Amino acid sequence: MPDPTPNPPPLADQPKKPRGCWFYGCLTLAIVALIGFIGTFMLARYAVRKASVMVQQYTSKTSAPIQSVTISQAELKSLHDRVNSFNQTLNGQQGSRELILSADEINALIQNDPEYKAIKGKLFVMLDGDQVNGKVSMPLDDFGPLKLKGQYLNGTATLTVALQNGLLDVRLKDVQVGDNPLPAPIVAELRKMNFAQDFQKDPDVQKSMDKLESIQVKDSKLVVRSKEPPK
């Protein structure tokens, strides 16, 4: 019997797409998409032969603890002011052409921005050198004949991020789901994928990305720079 399709419906509730899917939005949602895709891919590939084994190995009855950051109202206002200044530049107004965010600031935006309430408490972002580390704990829904409601998909992933020719490129370097590393052939396939690609099929998202000159993770900071406005 051939394997089921590797593109089944998502296992976990997908977060609502934020307006414009800005830089940190695309980054965080790409991490969620990566972890969610791993779960659907693994269960779809092996559900016929090893369903109970796969569920036991790669899901949990409990959520993994997700860290949070502490930020004062004054610090949060300053952070929002910087983000808004950068957004003004992207909208053709006078503002800052560069936005630099630490991991704590990205997590603070996730925790406090209503647009990201669907992933609040489910995702924590860490920046290490030129890499992004994401920790995710997501509740699952029933998947075909598999009764997964009440189970959690807990995982960590290491990613690289770059903006190339107007396309945000988020690639997997390493991943672990639950307490078990994924089989090498699966990891090899996942490394070929750009996990931010689907977000940019939205014309509004691509229009926003076209205004950016670069996105990079450098010295454990996310650095986003807009294109120089036309004279």
Q: Which of 2-11, 55-64, 191-200 has the lowest mean pLDDT?
A: 2-11
CA dist 15 → 26, 51, 154, 157 (Å)? 12, 26, 16, 18
In percent, how much of the chain has pLDDT > 70? 74
- Mean pLDDT along residues 99-123: 88
Computed on alpha carbons and rounded to an integer, the radius of gyration of the chain in Å comes to: 18
Calculate the dihedral angle through the C-alpha atoms of 38, 40, 42, 44, rounding to the nearest 10 degrees. Answer: -160
Question: Which 8-state DSSP code applies to residue 109?
Answer: H
The whole-model pTM stands at 0.78
Q: Which residue has the higher pLDDT, 30 or 151?
A: 151
Provide φ and ψ at 125, rounded to 5°: -105, 135
Encode pLDDT of 154-195 as tens digits.
888 888 888 877 788 888 888 888 777 777 877 888 888 887
- Residue owning tokens 């294109």: 227
- Mean pLDDT along residues 10-32: 47
Encode pLDDT of 6-15 as tens digits.
343 343 444 4
**Overall residue count recorded for the chain in this entry:** 231
CA atoms within 13 A on the CB side of 116: 24
CA distance 188 to 185: 5
Q: Which residues pair with 135 in a beta bridge?
A: 124, 156
